[in-house]
Structure 1
Amino acid sequence: MTSAQPDYEIIIVGGSYAGLSAALVLGRSLRRVLVLDSGQPANRQTPHSHSFLTRDGATPAELATIARQQALAYSTVTIKTATVTRAIKQDTGFIVSTDAGDSYSAGRLLLATGLTDQMLPIPGFAECWGISVLHCPYCHGYEVHGQALGVLANGDAGFEMGRLIHHWSANLTLFTNGPSTLSPEQTAALKRHQITIIETPISVIPHQDGQLSGLLLANQTHYPLAALFARPPMHQASTLGWQLGCLHDDMGFVQVDDFGRTTIPGVFAAGDTHTMMRQVTVAATNGMRAAVTLNKEMLEETF
């Protein structure tokens, strides 16, 4: 193992809202920081971001551009476009390697690599994802409230999503995309609130540039909709947490304490990497929290 001094004090893997929020705080803390970002954020198809105080309705790209500019205003912050494929622990910290064959070292790592949504095998689903096939009513519900909405889910998830989305529109249909696995009590509660339950499989989601017109079912019935809410499976966008030996919970999230520390000393996590609360505000907040803790730890080591 090498004993050379690391290239940077902190490497942040992932340059979206959590990573850039951390970079901003660490830059203002005079820390030498490298942000490595693949340039493939999970919300890249989403037209507008909502519920972020002072930036409600901004595009995700606009938010990211401003965040990069503000982080780079601090001379100790460097941002590179690269996909990190490997991370190992050494005696002076960590070494990360990219798909381009470059390697960088740092005393500490912050994993802000986020999640990848697994698109359902329904024609039109991927094209509409983030535009009119939506995952979060807090992010996108207001824009379609009171209109004809659909929920694509089944069983307990179908019931919970149906109850949630019903707050934004009483004109709601639950599509189970096959035989219902709702309990009798759940079915009765949904019907009591005039939520129609459709079990016929979905054939295709007709759309124009990602804006759906409704759902076409296997029996050729077309249901007009303004938007469809769904929560497809998701998984870690990177295997770095596992490579480093960080513990993960049953859902695959990296386990952290209240300050973003993982179970591996020197490795922190922020953003969607450790929570299913996927709002921009949440990511920025826990990125800042991890950065403050990182700086505090480093100060304690040298003072």
Structure 2
Amino acid sequence: MLRIALFVLTNLAIMLVLSVVASIFGLDRWAYAHAGINLTGMLVFCALFGVGGSFISLLMSKTMAKMSVGAQVIASPRNAAEQWLFDTVARHAKNAGIGMPEIAVYDAPEMNAFATGASRNHALVAVSTGLLQGMGRDEVSAVLGHEISHVANGDMVTLALIQGVVNTFVMFLARVLGGIVDNAISGNRDDRGGGYGIGYFVITMVLQTVLGVLATMIVMGFSRWREFRADAGGAKLGGRANMIAALRTLSGDHGDAGLPKALVAFGIAGDGGVARLFTSHPPIAERIAALQEAEPA
């Protein structure tokens, strides 16, 4: 809750500072005179949609995740395997200082697991049947520690906050630049009844797409960084050797193939493909190297 409160205050401060700067340098008056744009109003509008949409996605994340992969929540263990899974998650959650998350299993041949949820104490940890069948229990324990670490670190919330800020500025800059370019192409806005031409909407959509691609690099950069932290957490909770062994096992399995696009960033495997700047996970070889370098001499 404190993280969200600080985020809201930070964004209000950013909006206030930008408004003051625009007023001092006359940018707001220039934008209104040349493109009919109220910068403060536009920034507030974009923040409501950018941040609001990100938060709505976060609040719906558990429900959508379970629906998208057909995950079955283990309310009460029905056999020894489920009891072990339940006990392992409970032990990791206690050691990480978070509330007991929901535990779910989904049917998929790929070895993967993911965690999601709107808060540290109301999260979901899901594992694939492929993971349970393809790894030993020590390795699965380390993977579960990795996912629990994501929850304990507040990664789902932080990623949503970063995405919200990025969405806001992509929408804002696209519309401001779109208005300026459209006005320069179309001439005085008053001659057209003060409205925007079709060119404005085309230009804005193109700019939003281009800026969105660039902004994705920022979000994915954070996602890659948090994977190293979660690996370290998995090593602490489940054993460093087990975490390294689990990553080595994953290196031969395309674990994200069975996850919807919206959940790829929350999975354990990642692809680490050629387009490095746009991947949510670092290459597994780098993750293993980071764990090995962190070992005591």
TM-score range, shorter chain: under 0.3
Which structure's residues are more often helix, by fraction? Answer: 2
Query: TM-score of the superposition, structure 1-length normalised?
Result: 0.26
Query: TM-score of the superposition, structure 2-length normalised?
Result: 0.26
Which structure's residues are more often strand, by fraction? Answer: 1
